[in-house]
Chain A
């Protein structure tokens, strides 16, 4: 059973530094000793991190390091084998995926998972589902409440699409959008669920350099406008080093380094495990 006192008993590992402005506030996310085994294989082990209220944090590492697995544990797609996740100070151990979303985590996917057959606007409205308030019955008989709430959702959806100047595409079918626009729509859909922490899984994958530069501005803009934290997995080092305030490097399921972009760039362990290889490729 969930014992509220239990939370305090778990020794929190030494915290990574939060950005200046977030230091006085409790972190939005605290993860301690998180780990998961698949059969006999340990995919992620002893994962510790703290993320500030309005921090943009990066999670990097070679392919197969376990980055997406961390996202899947945070959102309860996978049930962690060990460890603790505190979201806004609350233990998420007994929460389901849906409850996690309602409690404040929204995410995007490495391989885009939009509702292809729905319109762009309807995809955003799916994100707004829990903030649109009318019953099945009013939905069938189309009571005044239905019209009021649907109008509100429509306006909100267009507002959110405005972040990426996508209002014109509202009626297009999501599956027909170009790749970059689909990635942006996924971010909008996630934002519609009113998260406190937004998880972005390779948001710049498949984008050209100018699109990536624009995406960086937009991630900052989202953080500033909504005052939320963002955690992103990304292979594009320009993006990661350009916007992340704290970075954790994962290799073979373990964090091998944590720090600011400049600390990470100069860390010999990271260079060996990751950046060295990255430079060779270029």
Chain B
């Protein structure tokens, strides 16, 4: 039973990683860049929800909505101001800029909200855990909410990219930007929309993560951000199902490693698994083979 409960907690944590990883992988697939500021958007989402509930005394749902809207706009603004001018610059310049944006967001948060740890109140605080098998297995309301929300997000996103015209445009741009433009697809708009969706998802991930792990500081986003990036690479960067699978596996490995091997070494175990996977499958679990054209 304890094992099952660890697995469920792992899936819950992994679902958060998966939602964040979706942002990394979509932006990479379409804009061909690693947006290292993505993790910090989670933190901003957390603060927005925190302020909305604590200072503005809004209800849970309006607070989450505010966090999502602010982060969506933030994503669009970051892309417009920091990355769009570098569209034809080298990928290294874009990468350094992304790291710069990440530090900018962290320090802006430090300036506004100081380094004091805020205690984030769970969005399902007071809801009793679900008890199964005569109280032997207890699942927290946060874990259930996280898993449910991520399932809904994954279904919506899969349908969106697979069945809607913007989703198809995104896939077309990710495959051949030039050909997409010649078919009348506005690449700038598509990239902007990808950032908007990724950042909106990051806000949701932030709220879910902080509901389970309540301490909120300006650097809250960086570790989950790196883990989610790892998850995206693990699953195959650029692949949406890959990000989902990578995120969930990473969460499960992390929690099981913590429970059965070593509390301190759990992160090391996570990264060791990543290295082993990449040795045998350099493009990640569901990564696409790179076709050499001759």
Chain A residues in the interface with B (C-beta under 8 A): 75, 77, 96-98, 101-102, 106-107, 109, 113-118, 122, 125-130, 132, 134, 136, 139-140, 142, 146, 149-150, 153, 189-190, 192-193
Indicate with 1 or 0, residue by residue over B183-197, a CB within 8 angstroms of chain A CB atoms.
Answer: 111110000010000
Partner of A101, one of B167, B169, B171, B183: B183
Pairwise interchain contact A139-B166, C-beta atoms closer than 8 A:
yes
Q: Which residue of B lies closest to A153 (CB)?
A: B165
| Distance of A101 Cα from B184 Cα, bound (Å) | 5
B: residues with CB less than 8 A from A are 156, 159-160, 163-169, 171-172, 175-176, 178-187, 193, 288
The answer to whether A98 touches B179, judged by C-beta atoms less than 8 angstroms apart, is: no
Q: Are A129 and B160 within 8 A (Cβ)?
A: no
Pick the contact of A98 from B156, B186, B193 — CB < 8 Å? Answer: B186
Chain B binding site: helix, strand, loop or mixed by DSSP?
helix
Q: Complex: how many Å from CA A189 to CA B185?
A: 13
CB pair A98–B181 under 8 Å, yes or no, is yes
**Whole-angstrom distance from the CB of B38 to the nearest CB of chain A?**
20
Which B residue sits closest to A117, measured CB to CB? B175
Known: A118-B175, A122-B168, A140-B156. A150 touches B182 (CB 8 A): no
CB-defined contacts of A140 to chain B, threshold 8 Å: 156, 160, 164
Contact B183 A193 (CB under 8 A): yes
A118 — nearest CB in chain B belongs to which residue?
B171
Smallest beta-carbon distance A123→chain B, Å: 8
Which of A116, A140, A146, A149 has the most C-beta atoms of chain B within 10 angstroms of its own C-beta?
A140
CB contact between A139 and one of B160, B171, B180 (< 8 Å): that residue: B160
A-B contact count (CB 8 A): 82
How far is B182's CA from A109's CA once the two chains are assembled, in angstroms?
10
Q: How far is the CA of A122 from the CA of B166 in the complex (A)?
A: 12
Give which listed residue, A75, A115, A149, A153, contacts B171 with CB less than 8 A.
A115
Known: A115-B176, A140-B156, A142-B159. A126 touches B168 (CB 8 A): yes
Q: How far is the CA of A215 from the CA of B11 in the complex (A)?
A: 55
Interface contact B184-A77, CB-CB below 8 Å: no
Contact B159 A97 (CB under 8 A): no
| Closest A residue, CB atoms, query B162 | A122
Minimum-distance CB pairs A-B, first 4: A139-B164, A101-B184, A113-B179, A97-B181
CA distance in complex: A150, B160 (Å) = 12
Q: Which residue of chain A is the closest to B189 with respect to CB atoms? A: A98
A153 to B168, CA, bound (A): 13
The residue of chain B having its C-beta at the shortest distance from the C-beta of A71 within the complex is: B182
A-B residue pairs in contact (CB < 8 Å), sample of 17 = A96-B181, A97-B182, A98-B186, A102-B184, A107-B182, A109-B179, A113-B178, A114-B179, A115-B175, A116-B175, A122-B168, A126-B180, A129-B185, A132-B165, A146-B164, A150-B163, A150-B165
